Amino acid sequence: MTQRIRAALPLASAFALLATPLAAQDAPAPMQARDLVTMPRLGSPTVSPDGAMAVYSVITTDPESLERSARLFVRSLTNMDGEAVALDLKASGASFAGDGHLYYLASGTESDSPQVWRAHVGTDGSVSGAIQLTDIIRGVNGYSVSADGSRIAIWTDIARSCEDLACDDSAKAYLPGPGDGRLFQGDEGLYRHWDEWETPGIISRVFAADITEGKATAFVAVDGAMGAGGPAGDTPTKPFGGGEDIAWAPDGSGVYFVAREGGASEPYSTNLDIWWSDLSGDAPTNLTAANEALDALPAPSPDGRYLAYVAMERPTYEADRQVVMLRDLATGETTALTQDFDRSFGSLAWTPDSRWLVATAQDVLDTPAFRIDPRTGAVERLDLMAGNEAHIGNVTPLEGGDLLFTRDSIGAPSEMFLSENWGMAEPLTEVATPVIGQFAPVVVERFSFAGANGETVWGQITKLEGHEGKMPAILYVHGGPQGSFNDGWSSRWNPRIVASQGYAVISVDFHGSTGYGQAFTDAINGDWGGKPLEDLQLGLAAALERDSQIDGSRACAMGASYGGYMMNWIAGNWPDRFDCLVQHDGLFDLRSFYYTTEELWFPKWEFGGSYAENPEAYERWNPVNHVDKWQTPMLVITGEKDFRVPYTQGLASFTALQERGIESQMLVFPNENHWVLGAKNSLQWHNTVFDWLDRWLKPGE
């Protein structure tokens, strides 16, 4: 079973024909690393309450200095032939409220700390009446405004013991001096997380206030006084939570918010709860206390009758299915709305009339939008794009069944689209389309095959369109491990940029991948090196049989996180297949990994307990136990601020390579975490990886 698409938008191709010289039209240049790093990036749009315009940010990167900057643009939604206009604002985090103002974050007039502002904007780009609403010394990390614009919630890092924003929490018990050593207590939970050392007692907290005469005053802590029964963990949740963790009641009477379980149990818990605060200053109410797993994405219906949210069922399992829940706010009765629909929903939004919920979920290799009937739980996949849906996100329902959303794919970065009356969408922006249209397009072929246990497994082949002659193979292995190399754009692990170097990129959604039902996702638990490796072996063979242009005698494999683990596992359990390996932030020794990572719920679930409780499971799939069979040249990449897979795992694998006399290199980024985010570092990453691949797959070229 195959699907074949040309991964370049027609609009992009048309623009390229107009914008490039005749010679370039005949043979457009393949995309290079610097092109990827400097590609303009579309931010999340916000829509005015009358539905007349959308404001969004665009991040650009200077091609020489690689410095990044952001700018806001406004686009009419009533004139499909209109053009986007830049706003004269140095701002971020823009959002409209029901009062018609555009709210945003910008430096304060008295300091450089970020504060909340508002202004009136027009579709012509005009900005008027700008006024600063907050003046908080510690700065504002984020905000949410009530529907009518009368109240605002802000969040910032502050001691849990503080009852107001003016509290002096500068004294740090974990810094007793006289040196700069950090002293952590054994019962305080996480002492470092993702890429930051924790500051015990300091968490992200939400405070709310009325907006009176253009000022936000008399902030109240929504989590209540310390010890009064409110939450003790971060809101928004860290490290990735944001505005989706906070939702105002439609009438502005209070705030729903998500809080992580804090304290000594935090490293072992995935328990997130949804709380309700009436802004009285009293302790909030935990609405989901009965569920010890994740509850998130609170979304009250515009008519105030219901609260929709997503929930997992199994505590400590971070990749469990997210079921859409519906709580009747009058009776408290809660229904598992999508219990019978075997997909995991990652976003929720109500239509303005409260008639439908619109949600997104991975489905095979796409992330489409679904329409959910809150009365029956019926789920309908929406057909919004010609061809494959690819990756749809940032869905905003408008009046009359219209939907504003963003869409990206392997072939092209994110652009904004408008669907009218649930129909096929039309593009609204050309943020990256003109740029991507100047490069040689790629072809993406979807294929399926019989994987482990004879079950259907999906994969994709990405290669340059019109490439003549054979091309070496790159086996791409995704992380997670509960993840997917679906049909989406990435600024890091991007199949198009690798294919543009003259390689055929083969990605396989092995057992454990998302978008195929929860049983398929669960299949990797306790079987890290089993079915996934078999799927990769069978998938590579299937791709080579399907496409005779791919030269299987010249092949490298590459992956990060779990994909990096798989590189270490392949080195000892499939040692004679590849010419080279690229291992980024990969687990090398599962025993030392357990005792040095921070989110301990993850290995405890994956391997059926702690290392002390179930060492056999860890050792069964431990790459370090197979080092004696290593022989494949390997490039090791790691970041010193990676606390998920500590960089010592990379050092250990590099030492193993050196001891065995295997050709190897190691690239260490002092200021990167589990990802490579800096523009200059990203360019270096790509150049190093491409040089390594060329060395082993294109000798003499």
How far apart are the C-alpha atoms of 476 and 492, rounded to whole Å?
13
Half-sphere exposure of 132 (CA within 13 A, CB side): 15
Are 58 and 42 in contact by the 8 Å Cβ rule? The answer is yes
Reduce the DSSP state of residue 88 to 3 states and report it.
coil
Mean pLDDT of 658-682: 98
Q: Residue 282 has which token pair?
A: 């009293």
- The residues with which 665 forms a beta bridge, in sequence order, are 635
Q: Indicate the pLDDT class of residue 55, thresholds 50, 70 and 90.
A: very high
Of the options 3.90.1150.10, 3.30.460.10, 3.40.50.1820, 2.120.10.30, the CATH number for the domain spanning 440-697: 3.40.50.1820
pLDDT per position as a tens digit, 320-342: 999 999 999 999 999 999 999 99
How far apart are the C-alpha atoms of 544 and 243, rounded to whole Å?
45
Mean pLDDT of 306-324: 98
Beta pairing class for 202-212 and 151-159: antiparallel
What angle in degrees, to the nearest 10, is found between the helix axes of 531-546 and 562-573?
Answer: 80
pLDDT per position as a tens digit, 610-630: 999 999 999 999 999 999 999
Residue 9: predicted pLDDT: 38
| % of the chain at pLDDT higher than 90 | 93
For the chain, the structural domain boundaries read: 134-166+191-289, 440-697
- The residues with which 328 forms a beta bridge, in sequence order, are 306
Residue 601, pLDDT > 50, answer: yes
Q: What is the pTM of this model?
A: 0.94
pLDDT per position as a tens digit, 65-74: 999 999 999 9
Residue 25, pLDDT > 70, answer: no
Residue 3: predicted pLDDT: 40
